[in-house]
């Protein structure tokens, strides 16, 4: 594993660890870079000030070690993303199982149809033995997908 993260990966890490939006995390990170709190390097040329390149931030990397140290030193507590110590309803547990089973991510998979996910839920039962109804399965299939995947995309003919 490299000790250097792309700027975008660093922003993603800050947004998860701080429970911030991607934009807020990017602004937070840019401010820390600008005042020299985080070690940064530019792969094309060595510059000390933070000026986004003409094509985005692909050529800038942040030291993973320095970023983690900086995150831990911030007064904002690190967001706990663990699900171990919170109650999850049986429906939420099934939805997490479906995310793992279908390898669902924030990137839409055009080959994974909502109907396929719905069928996965229809065949399941709650811990008390009650079957998942078609309406419940439909809702669960909707909510395990990313918002982008919910847009559809098939054009109607006619």
Return the structure tokens found at 7: 């700027």
Whether residue 113 is found in the same domain as residue 56:
no
The answer to the question of residue 83 being in a domain is no
Looking at the chain, the whole-number percentage of residues with pLDDT higher than 70 is 74
Q: How many domains does the chain have?
A: 2
Residue 85 has pLDDT above 90, yes or no: no
Range of the domain at 113: 90-151
The answer to the question of residue 84 being in a domain is no
The answer to the question of residue 157 being in a domain is no
Question: Where does a domain end: 73, 107, 125?
Answer: 73
Whether residue 12 is found in the same domain as residue 67:
yes
The answer to the question of residue 82 being in a domain is no
Whether residue 67 is found in the same domain as residue 94:
no
**CA–CA gap between residue 112 and residue 145 (Å, rounded):** 10
Range from 23-37, 60-74, 135-149 that averages highest in pLDDT: 135-149
Least confident range of 11-25, 35-49, 119-133, 141-155:
35-49
The answer to the question of residue 78 being in a domain is no
Residue 15 has pLDDT above 80, yes or no: yes
Mean pLDDT computed over 94-100:
89
Whether residue 60 is found in the same domain as residue 98:
no
pTM of the model: 0.47
Least confident range of 110-114, 139-143, 152-156:
152-156
The answer to the question of residue 158 being in a domain is no
The answer to the question of residue 85 being in a domain is no
The 10 Å CB-count burial string (b at 16+, else e) for 2-22 is eebbbbeebbebbbebbebee
**What pLDDT is stored for residue 54 in this prediction?**
39
**What pLDDT is stored for residue 82 in this prediction?**
61
């Amino acid at each position: 594993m490299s000790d250097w993260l792309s700027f975008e990966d660093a922003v993603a890490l800050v947004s998860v660890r701080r429970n911030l939006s991607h934009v807020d995390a990017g602004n937070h990170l840019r401010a820390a870079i600008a005042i020299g709190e985080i070690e940064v390097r530019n792969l094309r040329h060595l510059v000390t000030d933070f000026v986004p390149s003409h094509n985005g931030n692909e050529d800038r990397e942040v030291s993973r070690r320095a970023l983690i140290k900086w995150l831990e030193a911030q007064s904002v507590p690190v967001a706990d993303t663990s699900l171990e110590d919170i109650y999850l309803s049986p429906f939420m547990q099934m939805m997490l199982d479906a995310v793992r089973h279908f390898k669902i991510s924030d990137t839409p998979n055009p080959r994974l149809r909502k109907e396929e996910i719905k069928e996965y839920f229809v065949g399941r039962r709650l811990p008390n033995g009650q079957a998942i109804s078609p309406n419940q399965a439909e809702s669960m299939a909707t909510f395990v997908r990313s918002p982008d995947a919910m847009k559809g995309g098939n054009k109607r003919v006619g």
